[in-house]
Each structure stands twice: as C-alpha cells, then as structure tokens.
Amino acid sequence: MNVQKKNRNIGAALLFFIFGLLFFVLAVRFITIQYTGEVKGQALAAKASQLYKRTDVLKAKRGTIYDREGEVIAEDSASYTLIAVMDKKVTLDPKRPHHVVDPKETAKKLSEHISLSEQEIYERLTKKGRKQVEFGPAGRDLPHRVKEEIEKLKLPGIGFIKDTKRFYPNGIFASHLIGYAQGEQSNGESTEIVGKAGLEKSYNEMLTGKDGSLTYKGDVWDFILPNSKKQIKEPKNGKDIYLTLDKKIQTFLEDAMNKVDQKYSPERILAIVADPKTGAILGMGQRPTYHPVTREGIEKNWHNEVVESSFEPGSTMKIFSLAASVEEGVFNPNATFPSGKYYLNNKQPPIKDHNQGNGWGPITYLEGVQRSSNVGFAYLLEKMGTDTWRDYMDKFKFGQKTGIALPNEASGKILYEWPIEKVTSVFGQGTTVTSMQMIQAASAIANNGKMMKPYVVDKIVDTATGDVTETKPEVSGQPLSSKSSKEVRDILETVITAENGTGNQFYQLDGYSVAGKTGTAQIAAPNGGYLQGRENYIFSFLGMAPKDDPKLVMYVVVEKPKLRQDENGALPVAEIFKPVMKSSLQYLNIEPEKKEKAVITELPDLTDMNVQEATEFLKEKGLKPVLLGNGKQILSHSPKKGDRVIEGEKVVIKTDAKLSIPDMTGWSKRDVLKVAKLAELKVNMVGNGYLMKQNIKPNSKVTAGDHLVANFANQTEMVEKKKSEKDKAEEEAPLD
C-alpha cells in the first residue's frame, strides 16, 4: 500500500517537473518573441503584414493617336470577356444562385447577343467537369453596350471580366501608317498592349505608360480591413501623338482608292497628299490594306509601301529633269528637235517616243514636254550634260532616304554607270524611287525652290506634365531658284491644258489650275527585261494645285489595273487624283480661281485679205486658221463674215489653189463639217465625240463631190486609238 502510494507520488512529481519545464520553456520563448519580435530571424510583424497585404495593379492608359485637328485615330477602350460560372459551390443561398442554373434558357438568351448558336452555347455550358466557361472569340472584346444588354437579362452565373483593347474608330484608315497594337498574353492572362506595326510599333515606347499600384490590408475575401492604410502609386499614362494627317482629306483618299480598287482591281495603289510649304503629310494610303482591329487583309501586304517600296517612276521623273534644264538655262521652249527616235550609238537600239517611235516630226521642246517625248528629254540631257543631271538628282535627294520618322524606309537606287542608263534616267527608267521621295522632290517645284522634308508626327504631348514636343518644318535643300520653279509650273500646266498634252483628257479641275506630269513606267520582269502587255505598267500622276501658289501636292500610283480595250491607264489614276484634290482644296477653303472671260471676235470678210494677212489677223485674235489648199487668195471661209467666234476656235479658209484635206484627228463634228461644206464634200459621220479616223488621208487632194467618211469616238477611245490591242511596242516600251 505504502509502496504504491510512494510510486504515485514519484510519478506525480515527475509529471509536475516535466510540465513545469515545458511551461518554463514556453514562457521563455514567449518572452523572447515578445521582446525581439522575431522567429528564426524573421520579423513576425512583417509576416503578419504579408499575410493580409493585398496589391492591385492600376493600369496605365496607352497614349492616344490623333489627327492634326484632334480627331481620335487610335485609343484605348474598355472591353469585356463573357464568362459562365458552373461550380455549384459558389452558391451559398439557393434563392440567390451564383452559378448557371438553367443551361438551356441561358443558351437561348445569350445566343441573341453573341455570335454563337444556341446549340453551341448549350454544349459549352453542359460539358462535364468545368467550373467556369468562356465562349471563345464570340465572347471576347465585347463592347460596353453588349455587356449592359446581357446584364439586363439577370442570368444566374453569367459575369464579365473587364479588359482593355486598342480601338480604331475609323476602321480602315491609313492602316499601314498607323499600324496596330494588341494585348499580349502570359499564362493565359492579358498583359499590356504592345504595338505590332506602323506608328504603333515605332512609337511604342512613348505610347506605353507605366502601371501604378494600390496596396492595402484585406481579409480572405479581399475586403479592406477597417482602419487599414492604403498606399497608392499613380500610373503614368503614355504620351499622346498628334499626326499631320487630316481626317477629312484621308477619308477623301480612302473613298477614292476603294472605288478604283473595286472598279479596276489593280495589284497596287499608292497615294500621298502633302502640304508643299511645310512637308506635312495630310493623307497617305495604299491598297491592298487591312483592318487594324480584325487584321483582315494583312496577309496580302503588311509593308508600308509608300516608304518601304521603290520602283521605276517613268515620265513623272521628267518634272525634275525639266527643272534641271530650266535652272541651267538650256531649256528653250520654242527651239525644235526631231522627235521619234534618238540614237545613242550604232550598237544599241534607239530610244523611242511612246508612239512606237513614229514621233510627230520636228516639234518644239515645249510640245515635247506636253507630249512626253523621251527623245526630247534625251536631247535636253545632251544640252545640260550628264554630270550636271547627276548632280541635280543628288540635289533632289533621289537615292537617299527622306528621313521621315517611319521604319524600314527604302532609299531607291540611281543607275548611272553606262551611257544608256544616264539617258534613260531623265525619263524615269532604270533608276528607282519611293513615293515619299517624289513628294519631297515635288515640294521644291511647288514651294519656290525650297524642298521640304516630309513628316507625319505633328507633336507629342505628355499628359502628365503638359510638355509638348513639336515637329518644326525643315528645309531639306534648295535645288532650284524661285524663278525657275515658277517657270517649271507654267510649263507643267500646259501638260494639262494643251491640246496635245498627255494630261489634257484626265486631270483638269473645275475652278483650279493644275501643274503636273503623267507617268507610264515599265515593270521589271523576274527573268530580266520588262513585262509586256497593255496593263503591265505602273501608271502615275504627280500634280499640284493651284498652279501659281500650290497648297497641295499629290502623287498617285496605280499598278497593273484591269482595263477594257477602250480604257487608258490614266483613268484609274485620275479617278483618285481629281476628286481628292478638288475636295481637299474646297475643304481647306482655297478659293477657286477666277476664269478670264473668253475673248469673242466678230469675223470680218476675210476675202478682202490675202492668206498671209488673214492668218496673222486670226492668230492675233487667238483663233486657229486652217487652210484648204496652199493658194494666196481667199475664196470663202467658215465661220462666215459677221459670225461671232470664241478664242481658240478653228476658222477654215478655202484658198484659190487645189484643195487638200488636213489631219482632223481630235476635231469636233462641227469643225469637220466646216471643212466638208467649204470643200463641197459628201460626208458620212459615224459615232459621236471627236474624230478618230478619216478615210481621206491628210494632205490628200480632193475635188467637189468626193466622199468623206468620218469616224468619231469619245475621249477615252481617242487616247487609245494609236495603241494596238497587244501593244506592239518594240524594244523600248511606251513611257509617257
């Protein structure tokens, strides 16, 4: 008994000792922790803080891209991703479910608001094992309007994840210039928006802001704990970019290119509208193009061809070889040269004019410019010298990048080693250029000799600090004098106004004078030489208006349009140039030029004069005498005595010699009838418009009663009449 009691006392004492020791250790540990605030070298306060610390990202706004008037071109926009919660565990109160309760009804109602069928939505909602469902592309990037419509349905378990996307309100709008930006994903989660092409890519660093943060203490449900302090680091938004583009002018350009693209299906269209006084690019586009949101069409061409692509310009290069010859004082508009063919040497085929080398006989250099004679420009090169022309190509900065703030700019290439290359360069063959180089060079012609560097970014604004960085117009050279530039514009105006001008039928604007030059450039074939066929050319026009003080310069290129047999390659080019140039001038409030009143003359009796006196009189009055026969005395004339005639009208004179018929190609029916009546011919008129063909050869002798068959056609057919169906050009293809 005593032994048992003694053993119990020992056991109790042992337990008391053990528990006492444990209590002592715990007390010491507690006091140590309380005193030091650390466990294993780590501060408990920091650990506790981390346990409750919550950090949310405050997203920075990507900079907005505006046009020069402050119209939005690209900006950030809220978007939403539709989700459906299928996990029943999230519902704590059956009366207020937070998961999808009725998949069939939910699918039916959602199908009315997203582009998925009711069956497809139902299959997603009923697939086993899913706790949360998304709806693919149909459920992503939903606008706020669609989100609100779905929320009004009050469907259990249906919610949204908010995100940001890049929004382009104008759709296809200078897409290759603006480019596009999109949100990148990491581990399935959207991160910042990154520029992928165009200005969005080249200015990505400036446009991208720096995210901020919100730090606070929260419970397990992420609610902010009472009396907890919040730390806010404000986000820094990206900088805004204002472009030189004008939304109105760009819209004119886009609409015109769309129409031509649809009507003629060319392989490529390039077009630029610029202010020649500053170098600011007001409009710029190309076809094919793409939509910056959907990227539809980007697989056809993602390059900005206006700056990245070089090509042989054709006869638009004659603007600058003409300018060089004027500046050097070797261009005499009234001097003549033998058109048709130019022989560089006996070893090579001749350089030919674009009418298969037939030419127009001896013509003046002014008419050579109007007719776009390659031969005339070859003779001009002789007069100014090949070294001089090479210097002017440098002055106009061909073969050099313009320095515009766009990526991957091409420089083109000047081929100037062999004699033939030197000659062909004056009319735009062999040497390659970019569209932007042509605009820069043309600014010298339009801006009194001062050449302006092109630019597309007007200013950059830091919205946080208010700092503004502006682009100031920069003179990139002065290749010719103010006097020479004015003379060149006057000459180029006649390309549009002269009866023989290559631009006469296409580029005249009501109310505004235009100075410019047409171009038809050959396309190099992959296996050497050039492509053949009437459509296998690059058709272009480089023009400015109004001629005396150009406010706009425009360059249009259309490659390989699909043309009918009665259509000329200048048509699709003109269908872009004319509406865009005229609408833009009107939009800029450029007053139409006042037209001079036509001079009207009452004809005297010319039979009282001899042929020489009558001819001189008519020319003084601005009329065009047409002689039937080479006699010295006048028998009769049409219009007759007392008729009122307008400046430029033809006056047909019948002389006392054997009558001969002139070349009446391009004449109106009225003028042809004047000749037929005075010569007493029996005339048969076929068709409408202007004379395309006459059965009596020009300068042939005729007698009263002879039959004249006159075939008439419209203006387009007139331009095409000298071209064969298969383009029979030999060796040198037509370059106008």
CATH number (domain holding residue 662): 3.30.10.20
Q: Which of 519, 552, 587 is the last residue of a domain?
A: 587
| Residues 406-441: b if buried by 16+ CB within 10 A, e if exposed | beebbbbebbbeeebebbbbbbbbbbbbbbbbbbbb
Which residues lie across from 134 on neighbouring strands? 83
> Is the confidence at residue 74, as pLDDT, over 70?
yes
pLDDT of residue 727: 45
From 79, 310, 315, 339, active-site residue: 315
Does residue 514 carry a pLDDT above 60?
A: yes
Residues 438 and 557 placed together within one structural domain of the fold: yes
Q: Is residue 726 very low, low, confident or very high in pLDDT (cuts 50, 70, 90)? A: very low
- Separation of alpha carbons 384 and 321, rounded Å: 10
The answer on 251 and 329 residing in a single domain is yes
* Buried b / exposed e along 370-394 (16+ C-beta atoms within 10 A): bbbbbbbbbbbbebbebeebeebbe
Final residue in a domain of this structure, among 552, 587, 622: 587
Domain CATH number, residue 311: 3.40.710.10
CA angle 628, 671, 602 (to 5 degrees): 90
> Would residue 594 count as lying in a domain?
no
Please give the Cα distance from 203 to 201 (Å, whole number): 5
Give residues with Cβ within 8 angstroms of 290, minimum separation 6.
172, 175, 176, 296, 297, 298, 300, 301, 302
Please state, in angstroms and rounded to a whole number, the distance separating the CA atoms of residues 557 and 579: 15
CB burial of residue 705 (10 Å; 0-12, 13-18, 19+): exposed
What is the C-alpha end-to-end distance of the chain, expressed in Å?
135
The residues with which 160 forms a beta bridge, in sequence order, are: 82
Rank 496-500, 558-562, 566-570, 633-637 by mean pLDDT and report only the highest.
Answer: 558-562
Q: Is residue 22 part of a domain?
A: no
Regarding whether 569 and 429 lie in a shared domain, the answer is: yes
Determine whether 315 is an active site residue. yes
578 and 439 assigned to the same domain: yes
pLDDT for 461 equals 93
pLDDT band of 77, cuts 50, 70, 90: confident
Residues 6+ apart with CB under 8 A from 627: 611, 615, 653, 655, 662
Taking alpha carbons only, the member of 274, 270, 253, 257 closest to residue 311 is: 270
* pLDDT, greater one: 622 or 541: 541
Whether the upstream peptide bond of residue 546 has omega within 30° of 0, thus cis, is yes
Is the domain of 478 the same as that of 410?
yes
Least confident piece of the model among 6-10, 566-570, 574-578, 717-721? 717-721
**Does 579 share its domain with 606?**
no
**Residues 125 and 91 occupy one common structural domain:** yes
Greater pLDDT, 23 or 424 = 424
Asked if residue 50 belongs to a domain, the reply is no
- Read off the amino acid at residue 563: L
Which one of 544, 559, 587 terminates a domain?
587
Q: Residue 28 domain-assigned?
A: no
Domain housing 332: 247-587
**How far is residue 360's CA from residue 649's CA, in Å, rounded to a whole number?**
23
Q: In terms of domains, do 326 and 301 share one?
A: yes
How many domains in the chain?
A: 3
Examine residue 350 and say whether the peptide bond preceding it is cis (omega within 30 degrees of 0). no
Task: Check whether residue 432 and residue 520 sit in a common domain.
Answer: yes
Q: What is the pLDDT of residues 78-120, one digit of tens each?
A: 778 888 888 878 787 788 888 888 888 888 888 888 888 888 8
For residue 685, with 0-12 CB atoms within 10 Å meaning exposed, 13-18 middle and 19 or more buried, which class applies?
middle
Q: What is the mean pLDDT of the chain?
A: 84
Alpha helix (H) residue ranges in 632-723: 669-679, 715-720
Contact, 717 vs 735, CB < 8 A? no
Q: What is the pLDDT of residues 632-677, one digit of tens each?
A: 898 899 898 888 888 888 999 888 888 888 888 888 888 888 888 8
Q: Is residue 687 part of a domain?
A: yes
On whether both 543 and 675 belong to a single domain, the answer is no
What pLDDT score does 37 carry? Answer: 52
Q: Could you read off the pLDDT of 201-253 as tens digits, one per residue?
A: 989 989 887 776 666 555 444 445 455 666 667 778 889 999 999 999 999 99
Same domain membership, residue 607 and residue 552: no
Strand runs (DSSP E) across 328-405, as ranges?
336-338, 341-342, 351-352, 362-364
State yes or no: cis peptide before 625, omega within 30 of 0. Answer: no
Assess contact for 570 and 539: CB atoms under 8 A: yes
Confidence of residue 465 (pLDDT cuts 50, 70, 90): confident
Residue 21 resides in a domain: no
Q: Which of 465, 133, 181, 451 is nearest to 320 (CA)?
A: 451
Q: Does residue 732 lie within any of the structural domains? A: no
CATH number (domain holding residue 163): 3.90.1310.10
Q: Same domain for 122 and 66?
A: yes
Specify if 16 maps to a domain: no
